Structure 1
Protein backbone atom coordinates (compact mmCIF):
# COMPACT_ATOMS: atom_id res chain seq x y z
CA UNK A 1 0.00 0.00 0.00
CA UNK A 2 1.23 3.46 -0.95
CA UNK A 3 0.09 6.61 0.84
CA UNK A 4 0.40 9.89 -1.03
CA UNK A 5 -0.45 13.28 0.45
CA UNK A 6 -0.72 16.85 -0.78
CA UNK A 7 -1.87 20.08 0.80
CA UNK A 8 -4.95 22.23 0.45
CA UNK A 9 -4.37 25.77 -0.92
CA UNK A 10 -2.76 28.32 1.40
CA UNK A 11 -1.84 31.98 1.40
CA UNK A 12 -3.19 33.73 -1.68
CA UNK A 13 -3.30 30.62 -3.88
CA UNK A 14 -6.66 29.14 -4.89
CA UNK A 15 -5.20 25.75 -5.82
CA UNK A 16 -2.32 23.71 -4.49
CA UNK A 17 -0.51 21.72 -7.18
CA UNK A 18 0.83 19.30 -4.58
CA UNK A 19 -2.64 17.87 -3.95
CA UNK A 20 -3.56 17.86 -7.64
CA UNK A 21 -0.29 16.09 -8.49
CA UNK A 22 -0.51 13.58 -5.64
CA UNK A 23 -4.09 12.74 -6.58
CA UNK A 24 -3.19 12.31 -10.26
CA UNK A 25 -0.10 10.23 -9.39
CA UNK A 26 -2.39 7.98 -7.37
CA UNK A 27 -4.52 7.44 -10.46
CA UNK A 28 -1.46 6.56 -12.54
CA UNK A 29 -0.20 4.06 -9.99
CA UNK A 30 -3.63 2.52 -9.45
CA UNK A 31 -3.90 1.95 -13.21
CA UNK A 32 -0.73 -0.17 -12.89
CA UNK A 33 -2.35 -2.34 -10.23
CA UNK A 34 -0.58 -0.69 -7.28
CA UNK A 35 -2.64 -0.24 -4.11
CA UNK A 36 -2.56 3.48 -3.37
CA UNK A 37 -4.53 6.13 -1.53
CA UNK A 38 -4.12 9.90 -1.78
CA UNK A 39 -5.06 12.09 1.19
CA UNK A 40 -5.34 15.87 1.26
CA UNK A 41 -3.81 17.56 4.32
CA UNK A 42 -4.91 20.85 5.87
CA UNK A 43 -2.27 23.56 5.72
CA UNK A 44 -2.38 23.84 9.49
CA UNK A 45 0.34 23.20 12.06
CA UNK A 46 -0.55 20.24 14.26
CA UNK A 47 -3.80 19.34 12.52
CA UNK A 48 -1.96 18.27 9.36
CA UNK A 49 0.23 15.89 11.37
CA UNK A 50 -2.82 14.30 13.02
CA UNK A 51 -4.53 13.71 9.66
CA UNK A 52 -1.32 12.13 8.37
CA UNK A 53 -0.70 9.88 11.37
CA UNK A 54 -4.35 8.80 11.38
CA UNK A 55 -4.01 7.82 7.70
CA UNK A 56 -0.85 5.84 8.45
CA UNK A 57 -2.59 4.01 11.29
CA UNK A 58 -5.61 3.26 9.08
CA UNK A 59 -3.74 2.14 5.96
CA UNK A 60 -0.50 0.67 7.34
CA UNK A 61 1.29 1.63 4.10
CA UNK A 62 4.64 0.34 2.92
CA UNK A 63 5.68 3.73 1.51
CA UNK A 64 4.55 7.29 2.30
CA UNK A 65 5.32 10.18 -0.04
CA UNK A 66 4.13 13.56 1.19
CA UNK A 67 4.17 16.50 -1.21
CA UNK A 68 3.96 20.26 -0.93
CA UNK A 69 4.33 23.42 -2.98
CA UNK A 70 7.65 25.26 -3.23
CA UNK A 71 6.69 28.26 -5.33
CA UNK A 72 9.71 29.61 -7.19
CA UNK A 73 11.47 26.29 -7.61
CA UNK A 74 11.54 24.88 -11.11
CA UNK A 75 12.18 21.21 -10.34
CA UNK A 76 10.68 18.38 -8.35
CA UNK A 77 12.64 18.58 -5.11
CA UNK A 78 13.44 15.39 -3.24
CA UNK A 79 13.88 16.62 0.32
CA UNK A 80 16.79 15.12 2.22
CA UNK A 81 16.23 16.28 5.80
CA UNK A 82 13.44 17.48 8.11
CA UNK A 83 14.32 19.69 11.07
CA UNK A 84 12.57 19.99 14.42
CA UNK A 85 11.64 23.62 13.95
CA UNK A 86 8.44 25.50 13.15
CA UNK A 87 9.19 29.10 12.16
CA UNK A 88 6.31 30.48 10.10
CA UNK A 89 6.80 33.49 7.82
CA UNK A 90 3.03 33.67 7.28
CA UNK A 91 0.11 32.30 9.31
CA UNK A 92 -1.29 28.89 8.46
CA UNK A 93 -4.89 28.43 7.34
CA UNK A 94 -6.14 28.76 10.92
CA UNK A 95 -4.09 31.84 11.73
CA UNK A 96 -1.37 30.04 13.68
CA UNK A 97 2.14 31.41 13.31
CA UNK A 98 4.60 29.49 15.49
CA UNK A 99 8.05 31.02 15.77
CA UNK A 100 11.09 28.99 16.82
CA UNK A 101 8.96 26.16 18.20
CA UNK A 102 9.74 22.45 18.05
CA UNK A 103 7.58 20.26 15.83
CA UNK A 104 7.87 17.49 18.43
CA UNK A 105 8.97 18.81 21.84
CA UNK A 106 12.14 17.01 22.87
CA UNK A 107 12.43 15.22 19.53
CA UNK A 108 15.70 14.78 17.62
CA UNK A 109 17.09 17.84 15.87
CA UNK A 110 16.49 16.27 12.46
CA UNK A 111 15.44 13.19 10.52
CA UNK A 112 16.62 12.07 7.10
CA UNK A 113 14.26 10.80 4.41
CA UNK A 114 14.14 7.02 4.18
CA UNK A 115 13.28 7.11 0.48
CA UNK A 116 16.02 6.29 -2.07
CA UNK A 117 16.26 9.93 -3.14
CA UNK A 118 19.38 9.60 -5.29
CA UNK A 119 17.98 6.64 -7.22
CA UNK A 120 14.72 8.54 -7.62
CA UNK A 121 16.60 11.57 -8.93
CA UNK A 122 18.37 9.41 -11.48
CA UNK A 123 15.07 7.94 -12.65
CA UNK A 124 13.51 11.39 -12.94
CA UNK A 125 16.45 12.43 -15.11
CA UNK A 126 16.08 9.31 -17.27
CA UNK A 127 12.40 10.17 -17.75
CA UNK A 128 13.29 13.72 -18.78
CA UNK A 129 11.67 15.25 -15.68
CA UNK A 130 13.54 18.06 -13.93
CA UNK A 131 14.50 17.03 -10.42
CA UNK A 132 16.91 17.87 -7.63
CA UNK A 133 17.88 16.84 -4.12
CA UNK A 134 17.00 19.67 -1.75
CA UNK A 135 18.80 20.22 1.53
CA UNK A 136 15.98 22.22 3.16
CA UNK A 137 12.22 21.77 3.29
CA UNK A 138 11.86 25.19 4.91
CA UNK A 139 10.28 25.81 8.31
CA UNK A 140 6.60 26.10 7.35
CA UNK A 141 3.92 23.38 7.29
CA UNK A 142 5.80 21.33 4.65
CA UNK A 143 8.77 20.78 6.97
CA UNK A 144 6.34 20.34 9.86
CA UNK A 145 4.63 17.41 8.12
CA UNK A 146 7.94 15.97 6.87
CA UNK A 147 9.32 15.93 10.42
CA UNK A 148 6.07 14.57 11.87
CA UNK A 149 6.10 11.83 9.23
CA UNK A 150 9.65 10.74 9.95
CA UNK A 151 9.07 10.90 13.70
CA UNK A 152 6.06 8.61 13.30
CA UNK A 153 8.01 6.22 11.07
CA UNK A 154 10.92 6.06 13.53
CA UNK A 155 8.82 3.58 15.52
CA UNK A 156 7.62 1.77 12.37
CA UNK A 157 10.78 0.40 10.72
CA UNK A 158 8.80 -1.45 8.06
CA UNK A 159 7.50 1.79 6.54
CA UNK A 160 9.65 4.12 4.43
CA UNK A 161 8.77 7.71 3.67
CA UNK A 162 9.82 11.18 2.73
CA UNK A 163 8.79 14.52 1.32
CA UNK A 164 8.75 16.01 -2.17
CA UNK A 165 8.26 19.65 -3.18
CA UNK A 166 6.68 20.56 -6.52
CA UNK A 167 6.71 23.88 -8.46
CA UNK A 168 3.84 26.15 -9.41
CA UNK A 169 1.51 25.13 -12.21
CA UNK A 170 1.87 27.32 -15.33
CA UNK A 171 -1.74 28.45 -14.99
CA UNK A 172 -1.06 29.82 -11.50
CA UNK A 173 1.30 32.44 -12.90
CA UNK A 174 0.69 35.61 -14.91
CA UNK A 175 1.91 35.45 -18.48
CA UNK A 176 5.54 36.43 -18.81
CA UNK A 177 6.21 36.30 -15.05
CA UNK A 178 9.44 34.36 -15.48
CA UNK A 179 8.71 32.29 -12.37
CA UNK A 180 9.47 28.59 -12.91
CA UNK A 181 6.55 26.18 -13.24
CA UNK A 182 5.75 22.63 -14.30
CA UNK A 183 2.70 21.03 -15.97
CA UNK A 184 0.49 18.94 -13.72
CA UNK A 185 0.96 15.73 -15.69
CA UNK A 186 4.74 16.08 -15.47
CA UNK A 187 4.53 16.52 -11.69
CA UNK A 188 2.26 13.48 -11.40
CA UNK A 189 4.55 11.35 -13.56
CA UNK A 190 7.47 12.46 -11.40
CA UNK A 191 5.76 11.50 -8.15
CA UNK A 192 4.76 8.16 -9.65
CA UNK A 193 8.37 7.58 -10.73
CA UNK A 194 9.56 8.28 -7.19
CA UNK A 195 7.10 5.71 -5.83
CA UNK A 196 8.14 3.11 -8.39
CA UNK A 197 11.77 3.70 -7.49
CA UNK A 198 11.04 3.21 -3.79
CA UNK A 199 9.14 0.00 -4.52
CA UNK A 200 12.12 -1.50 -6.36
CA UNK A 201 15.08 0.06 -4.50
CA UNK A 202 16.04 -0.80 -0.94
CA UNK A 203 19.58 0.65 -0.90
CA UNK A 204 20.11 4.08 -2.44
CA UNK A 205 22.72 4.72 -5.13
CA UNK A 206 25.80 6.94 -4.89
CA UNK A 207 25.12 9.99 -7.00
CA UNK A 208 26.44 13.52 -6.60
CA UNK A 209 23.52 15.82 -5.83
CA UNK A 210 24.83 18.08 -3.09
CA UNK A 211 24.92 21.84 -2.85
CA UNK A 212 27.58 24.46 -2.07
CA UNK A 213 25.06 26.84 -0.47
Structure 2
Protein backbone atom coordinates (compact mmCIF):
# COMPACT_ATOMS: atom_id res chain seq x y z
CA UNK A 1 0.00 0.00 0.00
CA UNK A 2 1.51 3.31 -1.08
CA UNK A 3 1.68 6.45 0.98
CA UNK A 4 3.86 7.89 3.68
CA UNK A 5 1.26 8.73 6.29
CA UNK A 6 0.82 6.83 9.54
CA UNK A 7 -1.80 4.25 10.39
CA UNK A 8 -4.61 5.74 12.48
CA UNK A 9 -6.30 3.31 14.85
CA UNK A 10 -9.21 4.41 17.02
CA UNK A 11 -11.03 2.87 19.96
CA UNK A 12 -13.79 4.07 22.24
CA UNK A 13 -14.10 5.29 25.79
CA UNK A 14 -16.25 3.25 28.24
CA UNK A 15 -20.03 3.58 28.07
CA UNK A 16 -23.22 2.19 29.56
CA UNK A 17 -21.73 2.15 33.05
CA UNK A 18 -18.81 -0.13 32.20
CA UNK A 19 -15.37 0.71 33.62
CA UNK A 20 -13.47 -0.15 30.41
CA UNK A 21 -14.08 -0.51 26.70
CA UNK A 22 -12.57 -3.61 25.11
CA UNK A 23 -11.82 -1.68 21.92
CA UNK A 24 -9.56 0.85 23.60
CA UNK A 25 -7.85 -1.84 25.68
CA UNK A 26 -7.07 -3.71 22.45
CA UNK A 27 -5.82 -0.56 20.70
CA UNK A 28 -3.52 0.28 23.63
CA UNK A 29 -2.13 -3.27 23.57
CA UNK A 30 -1.64 -3.04 19.80
CA UNK A 31 0.35 0.16 20.21
CA UNK A 32 2.59 -1.50 22.78
CA UNK A 33 3.23 -4.63 20.76
CA UNK A 34 3.11 -3.45 17.13
CA UNK A 35 6.00 -5.24 15.35
CA UNK A 36 5.95 -3.35 12.05
CA UNK A 37 8.10 -0.45 10.89
CA UNK A 38 5.06 1.68 10.13
CA UNK A 39 4.06 4.41 12.56
CA UNK A 40 0.77 3.90 14.36
CA UNK A 41 -1.29 6.69 15.91
CA UNK A 42 -4.02 5.84 18.43
CA UNK A 43 -6.98 8.08 19.22
CA UNK A 44 -9.69 7.37 21.80
CA UNK A 45 -13.10 8.50 20.57
CA UNK A 46 -16.04 9.50 22.77
CA UNK A 47 -19.13 7.30 22.69
CA UNK A 48 -21.08 10.16 21.19
CA UNK A 49 -22.86 10.31 17.86
CA UNK A 50 -21.69 13.88 17.34
CA UNK A 51 -18.43 13.83 19.27
CA UNK A 52 -16.98 10.67 17.70
CA UNK A 53 -17.45 12.02 14.20
CA UNK A 54 -15.87 15.35 15.11
CA UNK A 55 -12.90 13.73 16.85
CA UNK A 56 -12.37 11.36 13.94
CA UNK A 57 -12.46 14.17 11.40
CA UNK A 58 -9.91 16.15 13.41
CA UNK A 59 -7.62 13.12 13.76
CA UNK A 60 -7.67 12.44 10.01
CA UNK A 61 -6.95 16.09 9.31
CA UNK A 62 -4.13 16.26 11.86
CA UNK A 63 -2.33 13.02 11.04
CA UNK A 64 -2.98 12.56 7.31
CA UNK A 65 -3.12 8.75 7.59
CA UNK A 66 -2.82 6.29 4.73
CA UNK A 67 -4.94 3.75 6.61
CA UNK A 68 -7.67 4.17 9.24
CA UNK A 69 -8.97 1.26 11.31
CA UNK A 70 -11.73 2.13 13.76
CA UNK A 71 -12.38 -0.40 16.50
CA UNK A 72 -15.43 -1.01 18.69
CA UNK A 73 -16.55 -3.65 21.16
CA UNK A 74 -19.43 -6.07 20.71
CA UNK A 75 -20.92 -8.99 22.62
CA UNK A 76 -19.77 -11.46 19.98
CA UNK A 77 -17.70 -14.63 19.96
CA UNK A 78 -15.47 -13.59 17.05
CA UNK A 79 -13.57 -10.57 15.79
CA UNK A 80 -15.82 -8.99 13.17
CA UNK A 81 -14.36 -7.21 10.15
CA UNK A 82 -17.27 -5.03 9.10
CA UNK A 83 -18.26 -4.93 5.46
CA UNK A 84 -20.96 -2.22 5.28
CA UNK A 85 -21.73 1.06 7.05
CA UNK A 86 -25.35 2.22 6.77
CA UNK A 87 -26.65 5.76 6.94
CA UNK A 88 -28.98 5.33 9.89
CA UNK A 89 -28.90 5.83 13.64
CA UNK A 90 -31.30 3.86 15.80
CA UNK A 91 -30.02 4.06 19.36
CA UNK A 92 -31.06 1.33 21.79
CA UNK A 93 -29.52 3.35 24.64
CA UNK A 94 -28.36 6.94 24.98
CA UNK A 95 -24.79 7.80 24.10
CA UNK A 96 -22.48 9.36 26.70
CA UNK A 97 -23.95 12.77 25.89
CA UNK A 98 -27.45 11.55 26.69
CA UNK A 99 -28.49 11.53 23.04
CA UNK A 100 -30.59 8.64 21.69
CA UNK A 101 -31.67 9.40 18.10
CA UNK A 102 -34.08 7.00 16.40
CA UNK A 103 -34.34 6.49 12.64
CA UNK A 104 -32.24 9.49 11.66
CA UNK A 105 -29.38 9.58 9.11
CA UNK A 106 -25.76 9.75 10.14
CA UNK A 107 -25.22 12.28 7.34
CA UNK A 108 -28.31 13.90 5.87
CA UNK A 109 -28.57 13.59 2.11
CA UNK A 110 -25.64 11.17 1.86
CA UNK A 111 -25.73 7.67 0.27
CA UNK A 112 -27.62 4.90 2.04
CA UNK A 113 -24.47 2.87 2.64
CA UNK A 114 -20.73 2.60 2.05
CA UNK A 115 -18.58 -0.49 1.73
CA UNK A 116 -15.38 -0.80 3.74
CA UNK A 117 -12.27 -0.18 1.68
CA UNK A 118 -10.30 -2.68 3.74
CA UNK A 119 -9.74 -6.07 2.10
CA UNK A 120 -12.30 -7.50 4.51
CA UNK A 121 -12.13 -11.17 3.61
CA UNK A 122 -8.33 -11.20 3.55
CA UNK A 123 -8.30 -9.44 6.92
CA UNK A 124 -10.66 -12.01 8.44
CA UNK A 125 -8.53 -14.84 7.05
CA UNK A 126 -5.41 -13.29 8.55
CA UNK A 127 -7.05 -13.04 11.97
CA UNK A 128 -8.19 -16.67 11.75
CA UNK A 129 -4.70 -17.73 10.69
CA UNK A 130 -3.43 -16.19 13.94
CA UNK A 131 -5.66 -18.63 15.81
CA UNK A 132 -8.34 -16.07 16.70
CA UNK A 133 -12.05 -16.52 15.85
CA UNK A 134 -12.92 -14.17 13.00
CA UNK A 135 -15.73 -13.36 10.62
CA UNK A 136 -16.70 -10.92 7.90
CA UNK A 137 -19.62 -9.13 9.52
CA UNK A 138 -22.53 -7.84 7.42
CA UNK A 139 -23.71 -5.30 9.98
CA UNK A 140 -22.06 -2.90 12.40
CA UNK A 141 -25.42 -2.24 14.05
CA UNK A 142 -27.10 1.16 14.30
CA UNK A 143 -25.34 2.64 17.32
CA UNK A 144 -22.18 4.79 17.64
CA UNK A 145 -19.93 2.14 16.07
CA UNK A 146 -21.86 2.11 12.81
CA UNK A 147 -22.26 5.90 12.87
CA UNK A 148 -18.49 6.27 13.25
CA UNK A 149 -17.83 3.73 10.50
CA UNK A 150 -20.24 5.58 8.20
CA UNK A 151 -18.72 8.96 9.05
CA UNK A 152 -15.27 7.56 8.23
CA UNK A 153 -16.41 6.13 4.90
CA UNK A 154 -18.17 9.38 4.01
CA UNK A 155 -15.04 11.34 4.93
CA UNK A 156 -12.80 9.11 2.80
CA UNK A 157 -15.17 8.82 -0.17
CA UNK A 158 -13.18 11.38 -2.15
CA UNK A 159 -9.80 10.11 -0.88
CA UNK A 160 -9.29 6.78 -2.66
CA UNK A 161 -5.64 6.72 -1.62
CA UNK A 162 -6.70 6.26 2.03
CA UNK A 163 -8.13 2.93 3.10
CA UNK A 164 -10.54 2.74 6.00
CA UNK A 165 -12.84 0.37 7.80
CA UNK A 166 -14.19 -0.88 11.09
CA UNK A 167 -13.48 -3.90 13.29
CA UNK A 168 -15.45 -5.16 16.28
CA UNK A 169 -13.60 -7.02 19.01
CA UNK A 170 -15.40 -9.20 21.58
CA UNK A 171 -15.77 -8.15 25.18
CA UNK A 172 -12.96 -9.05 27.55
CA UNK A 173 -13.54 -12.02 29.89
CA UNK A 174 -13.85 -9.57 32.80
CA UNK A 175 -16.57 -7.63 31.00
CA UNK A 176 -18.47 -10.61 29.66
CA UNK A 177 -18.61 -12.75 32.77
CA UNK A 178 -18.50 -16.51 33.11
CA UNK A 179 -19.81 -18.48 30.14
CA UNK A 180 -20.36 -15.48 27.86
CA UNK A 181 -18.49 -14.91 24.57
CA UNK A 182 -15.24 -13.04 25.18
CA UNK A 183 -11.64 -12.64 24.07
CA UNK A 184 -8.56 -11.64 26.07
CA UNK A 185 -7.17 -8.21 25.25
CA UNK A 186 -3.90 -9.74 24.06
CA UNK A 187 -5.76 -11.81 21.46
CA UNK A 188 -7.81 -8.82 20.30
CA UNK A 189 -4.58 -6.83 19.89
CA UNK A 190 -3.06 -9.62 17.79
CA UNK A 191 -6.21 -9.63 15.68
CA UNK A 192 -5.90 -5.88 15.09
CA UNK A 193 -2.24 -6.30 14.16
CA UNK A 194 -3.26 -8.91 11.58
CA UNK A 195 -5.91 -6.58 10.15
CA UNK A 196 -3.53 -3.64 9.92
CA UNK A 197 -0.73 -5.74 8.40
CA UNK A 198 -3.08 -7.23 5.80
CA UNK A 199 -4.58 -3.86 4.88
CA UNK A 200 -1.09 -2.44 4.39
CA UNK A 201 0.19 -5.38 2.33
CA UNK A 202 -2.86 -6.37 0.29
CA UNK A 203 -3.09 -4.57 -3.10
Tell me the TM-score normalised to structure 1 length: 0.91
Rounded Cα–Cα distance in structure 2 between residues aligned with 1:181 and 1:146 = 22
What SS does the corresponding residue of 1:100 show, helix, strand or coil? Answer: strand
- In structure 1, the partner of 2:25 is 20
- In structure 2, the partner of 1:104 is 107
Q: Which runs of 4+ in 1 moved over 2 A?
A: 26-29
* Matched length: 198
Rounded Cα–Cα distance in structure 1 between residues aligned with 2:176 and 2:154 = 35
Which of residues 23, 31, 37 in structure 2 aligns to 1:33?
37
- In structure 2, the partner of 1:209 is none
What SS does the corresponding residue of 1:40 show, helix, strand or coil? Answer: strand
Q: 1:26–1:192: 8 Å Cα contact kept in structure 2?
A: no
- What does residue range 60-75 of structure 1 map to in structure 2 within 5 Å? 60-71=64-75, 73-75=76-78
Cα drift, residue 183 of structure 1: 0.4
Tell me the TM-score normalised to structure 2 length: 0.95
Cα drift, residue 27 of structure 1: 2.4
Any unmatched runs of 5+ in structure 1?
A: 203-213
What SS does the corresponding residue of 2:110 show, helix, strand or coil? Answer: coil
- In structure 2, the partner of 1:129 is 132
What SS does the corresponding residue of 2:72 show, helix, strand or coil? Answer: strand
Rounded Cα–Cα distance in structure 2 between residues aligned with 1:76 and 1:15 = 18
What SS does the corresponding residue of 2:190 show, helix, strand or coil? Answer: helix
Which of residues 54, 57, 62 in structure 1 aligns to 2:61?
57
Rounded Cα–Cα distance in structure 2 between residues aligned with 1:171 and 1:9 = 14
Bigger share in strand: 2
Cα drift, residue 33 of structure 1: 2.3
Rounded Cα–Cα distance in structure 2 between residues aligned with 1:151 and 1:7 = 19
Does residue 145 of structure 2 align to residue 138 of structure 1?
Answer: no
